[in-house]
Amino acid sequence: MAMVLNEEAGMLKDAAKGFLTDSAPVSQLRKLRDEKSEDGFDRKTWSAMAEMGWTSVLVPEAHGGVEMGYVAAGVIAEEMGRTLTASPFLSTAIMGATAFSRFGSDAQKSEWLPRIAAGDAITALAVDESGKHSPSKVTATAERSGNGFKLNGKKTFVAEGHVADMLIVSARTAGSEAEAEGITLFLVPRDAAGVAVERSDMVDSRNSARITLDNVEVTADAVLGEVDGGLKALEGILDAGRAGLSAEMSGSAQQCLETTADYLKERKQFGAIIGTFQALQHRAAHLYSEVELGKSIVLKALQTLDVAPDHAALLVCAAKAKMGQVAQLATQEALQMHGGIGMTDEFDIGFFMKRVRVAEALYGDANFHADKFARMRNY
């Protein structure tokens, strides 16, 4: 498969850029933050995204979606990374849609995919239990109880957790803390009895929540995928999210690079445009090279999710590790090259630095993924 966007994806990119720049630029996130928005995202913008078909980008046509695939989803995420648009796109349109379409039962598909496609339902994945991502480290428990299960435990860093209609929760049905076997995924309505959700105040001003499960009762139908064998589905959903985050970070990195290059062409110091200083030129050129590498590995990961999702893990791993490192370099260099103004809250660079840090940490940081990469390569 050629490593270029096809015409359809190219058009989607232009449309996304146009819409986001006009309707959901960085100033929207700033406003949501300053006004302490309870939702943490703009529902009108979200509805507009649904109308444009973005929420159905990964939903099969049979369930009312446009099924454009991961490259297309990545195109949207990348443009959102340029504008830092806050929305449940990642948690729902990418991860929720992946969860149901790849791992859901027919009943689950029929119930949830049309709602996701229509923008009527928000889903959130509750996986982490401590500050560091580790999907197989599950202490939340699900005990058999009558025909169903009773869930107990705590989850943290749940993106969109406090606005989600449905939580996808990993819990242990067998095995011990760090074992791969014995993990099961459950669909838990956020308003189920025993579910307590507390929004976390995050550095990126985006949505994240702590969730406590206290004897939450669910039926057997609430199991997503296999009982005890849920890690495979969990990793599949996570990989979709990781690729989406990588695409988002790619957009942020590109935006930082472009903004900085523009600033270097304008700002004067010592009687010269600072863009003429060779040391800054070389650093900007190095950053450009790194951003190009990041774009390539992200595109390859997305393409592989489209054509061979079961073989995408290594590439997603590489993409998240590489793009996390590149995007952080981009925000750091952007801030330093902007000098004092970059440090002010009034300027946008800080927003990029904060969001990239969160995106980098979410579902495994560069260290987590590089370590996993080494293990997958048997060393």
**Binding residues vs a second copy (CB under 8 A):** 277-279, 281-282
* Partner whose binding site includes residue 15, from a second copy, other proteins, none (CB under 5 to 8 Å by kind): none
Three-point CA angle 353, 356, 361, nearest 5°: 130
Q: Which is nearer to other proteins, 196 or 343 (CB)?
A: 343
Task: Decide if 46 contacts 37 (C-beta within 8 A).
Answer: no
Give the residue, chosen from 48, 118, 202, 227, that forms a contact with other proteins under the rule CB under 8 A: 202
CB of 271 to other proteins, least distance (A): 7
Determine the 3-state secondary structure of 25 from DSSP: coil
* Partner whose binding site includes residue 329, from other proteins, a second copy, none (CB under 5 to 8 Å by kind): none
CA distance 73 to 66: 11
User: Dihedral angle at the C-alpha atoms of 114, 106, 69, 86, nearest 10 degrees?
Assistant: 50
CA distance 210 to 379: 35
CB of 288 to a second copy, least distance (A): 15
CA distance 239 to 354: 22
Can you read off the two tokens belonging to residue 106?
């027919």
Residue showing tokens 């729902």: 92
Stretch that binds other proteins, among 84-92, 102-110, 126-134, 181-189 (CB under 8 A): 126-134
**Using CB under 8 A as the criterion, what x/- string covers residues 203-242 for binding other proteins?**
xx---x----------------------------------
Q: Which is nearer to a second copy, 10 or 339 (CB)?
A: 339
Give the residue, chosen from 275, 312, 316, 327, that forms a contact with other proteins under the rule CB under 8 A: 275
* Partner whose binding site includes residue 374, from other proteins, a second copy, none (CB under 5 to 8 Å by kind): other proteins
Give the residue, chosen from 13, 30, 102, 300, that forms a contact with other proteins under the rule CB under 8 A: 300
Can you read off the two tokens belonging to residue 342?
């970059």
Looking only at the bridges linking them, the beta strands covering 148-159 and 141-145 are: antiparallel
Task: Decide if 242 contacts 283 (C-beta within 8 A).
Answer: no
Residue 19 as a binder of other proteins (CB under 8 A): the answer is no
Q: Which is nearer to other proteins, 55 or 254 (CB)?
A: 254
Residue 196 as a binder of other proteins (CB under 8 A): the answer is no
The one-letter amino acid code at 282 reads: H
The one-letter amino acid code at 86 reads: A
* Partner whose binding site includes residue 147, from other proteins, a second copy, none (CB under 5 to 8 Å by kind): none
Three-point CA angle 198, 202, 207, nearest 5°: 60
Taking CB under 8 A as the criterion, which residues in 356-375 touch other proteins? 357-358, 361-362, 365-368, 370-371, 373-375
CB of 68 to a second copy, least distance (A): 44
